[in-house]
Each structure stands twice: as C-alpha cells, then as structure tokens.
Amino acid sequence: MKILVVGSVALDSIETPFGKVDEALGGSATHFSCSASYFSKVGVVGVVGTDFPARHLEFLTKMGVDTDGMEVASGRTFRWRGYYEFDLNHAHTLATELNVFEKFHPKLPPDWCDAEIIFLANIDPELQLEVLEQVTNPKLVVCDTMNFWIANKKEALNKVIEKVDICLMNDSEAREYCQTYSLLDSANKMLSQGPKTVIFKKGEHGALMFTDSTHFSAPAYPLEEIKDPTGAGDSFAGGFIGYLAKTEDFSEQNIRRAIIYGSVMASFNVEGFGTDRLARLEVPEIGQRYLEFKEISRFE
C-alpha cells in the first residue's frame, strides 16, 4: 500500500550531551519518510525554501521517498534550534523559525490522492484537514500532533481526531488534550471522538495502545547509545505505519506487531543525530531488533 505523509521538512540545529549538529535534515515528514521507506512506498507533501540544500532532496529520493509533493517556495526553509540535557525525554526549544511554513497549504500530486494510507504528521491541524479534503478513498488515516496545537488550535484538532482511524500522541500530550492525568481516561475520551485505536508514545518507557476493548503495553528498549532523540516519535510512526502498509492488515494483532516495528525504528533513530542512523540502517538489523524486543518482554 502507498503511504502519503504531510508534515514538516526542516533544518534542525541540535545539541545534546553527546554532541551537536547544525542545520541537519529534520522535520516530522522527513523522519517519518526515512523510517517508513524501509517498509513501503512513501510520498511526502511539504514545503522547503529556495535555500534547501539539493543534497537533502537527493537523499530522500535515494531512500525511495517520492518528493513530487514537496513544494519549493521562495524564502527560507523552516528551522528549529534546540537542546537536550541528560533527561532526553524533554526537548528545550531555543528558536523556531516557521519561514516558508507560514503561508503553506498542502497540494497533493494527482498520483497521490488515491494513497491507501494517510499520515497526518505533526503540523497545523487546519492543514491536516486540507489534506483530508484532497484524498479520494483512504483505507487508513493516522494523525499525530503536538502540545502547541492542543493549546492553540483545539477545535481544528478535534475535527481531525474525529476523522482518523488511529490517533498517535505523546502521553503528556494526551493528558493535556483530555485534561486528565489518567491515560485510561484519556484513551476512552479520545476513542469516544471517533478513532478505533489510540497510541500513546512514552519515549524511553515504550508505548501504550488502547481500543474500546483491549490494551497493549509495548516494552521499553534499554539503549546502549542515545545521541539525539529528535524525530523518535516520527520514526515510530514510520515503522508503525510502514509495517501496516507492507502487511495490508489492520487487525488488532497486527497493530501490536506494528507498534513493535515502530519502537524498533525509533530505537535506531535516536542512535544518531538527525537521520544519520536511519540513513545507514541495514534491513536485517530491523528484524534482529524486533526479536530483541520479543526477548526482553517475554515471560510465561
């Protein structure tokens, strides 16, 4: 199945206790695409400025990502600058320059309006709604968001959540969105709005899935080497949706497996800065780490 993603493409400047990087290729659509490209065909819709290095577009193409939906607008590319301290679950933002993103409206290439799977990555929920108006007959729609939109575009976000099959959020975002500390209450509230499945990403603590009748707790993977957590959530989404696209099976059992593949891809993503680690990932490493996830969560 083809996956269409709309989201940000950015130049990220990041410092962590383990190093730093300047203007690395980043953004939600980028991390997602790199991750999902290991499983299925991905087309990205987004915008960059005229200053966007050609090598980054070439890199995405080399990863097998279709960039026909990537608009080049006059102006500067979206930039994010931030740092992490030893608690790598918490990003500190130093600067966000929206630049060409301020006037962006997604336009789907004709070939991609019929994509079977749509991922509305973290982006203004009004733009997420514009994407849904352009798709013809998706079989699965998944969304993500962030605290900024929960605080500032709640109504538009409500509309998005009503229209999706699966909603992804960080656990802290779910608590903020639902105004309750209980993740179970948060899940039930969100499920009542429309989605059949909600998934809460918990960074180093794994992930939780809820449906109206079941839940699943994906294990935490103890990493030997964490360099940069930026994009972990989008890499999770990439592995998760990529696996669903590859297997064409949206059953609860397969969604569990897909969550583990998402966790696998996130665990690789954080081993390098930006997209470094996913860029040099070997396919057998994915299956190997999946087996490690099985081993670390096994009990009789």
Q: In this chain, which of 93, 253, 280, 291 binds a copy of itself, going by CB under 8 A?
A: 253
Under rule CB under 8 A, residue 260 binds a copy of itself: yes
Under rule CB under 8 A, residue 168 binds a copy of itself: no
Cβ atoms of 152 and 175 within 8 Å: the answer is no
Residue 249 neighbours by CB distance under 10 Å? 12
Residue with Cβ nearer a copy of itself (25 or 266): 266
| Helix-strand-coil split of the chain, %, nearest 5 | 40, 25, 35
Residue with Cβ nearer a copy of itself (20 or 215): 215
Under rule CB under 8 A, residue 184 binds a copy of itself: yes
Which region among 36-44, 66-74, 199-207, 230-238 touches a copy of itself (by CB under 8 A)? Answer: 199-207
Under rule CB under 8 A, residue 213 binds a copy of itself: no
Shortest distance, position 282 Cβ to a copy of itself, whole Å: 23
Cβ atoms of 112 and 2 within 8 Å: the answer is yes
| CA dist., res. 123 & res. 46, Å (int) | 10
What is the three-state SS of 176-243? HHHCCCCHHHHHHHHHHHCCCEEEEECHHHCEEEECCCCEEEECCCCCCCCCCCCCHHHHHHHHHHHH
Under rule CB under 8 A, residue 181 binds a copy of itself: yes
Residue with Cβ nearer a copy of itself (158 or 254): 254
Q: In this chain, which of 54, 55, 74, 86 binds a copy of itself, going by CB under 8 A?
A: 86
Residue 290 neighbours by CB distance under 10 Å? 17
Strands of the sheet containing 10-16, edge to edge, are 19-26, 10-16, 79-84, 91-97
Please, where are the H alpha helices in 41-136?
54-62, 125-134
Under rule CB under 8 A, residue 246 binds a copy of itself: no
Under rule CB under 8 A, residue 192 binds a copy of itself: no
Residue 178 neighbours by CB distance under 10 Å? 19
Residue 91, both tokens:
């990003």
Q: In this chain, which of 125, 195, 206, 233 binds a copy of itself, going by CB under 8 A?
A: 206
Under rule CB under 8 A, residue 202 binds a copy of itself: yes
Q: In this chain, which of 20, 62, 105, 256 binds a copy of itself, going by CB under 8 A?
A: 256
Per DSSP, what are the bridge partners of residue 6?
45, 120
Site for a copy of itself in 90-129 (CB under 8 A): none
Burial code of 34-44, b = ≥16 C-beta within 10 A, e = fewer? bbbbbbbbbbb
Q: In this chain, which of 214, 249, 279, 287 binds a copy of itself, going by CB under 8 A?
A: 214
Shortest distance, position 240 Cβ to a copy of itself, whole Å: 13
Phi/psi at 124 (5° precision):
-45, 125
Under rule CB under 8 A, residue 250 binds a copy of itself: no
Per the listing, tokens 């940000």 go with: 8
Which region among 66-74, 83-91, 95-103, 235-243 touches a copy of itself (by CB under 8 A)? Answer: 83-91
Under rule CB under 8 A, residue 282 binds a copy of itself: no
Q: In this chain, which of 59, 83, 216, 250 binds a copy of itself, going by CB under 8 A?
A: 216
Binding site for a copy of itself (CB under 8 A): 17, 86-88, 181-184, 187, 202, 205-206, 208, 210, 214-224, 226, 253, 256-257, 259-260, 294-300
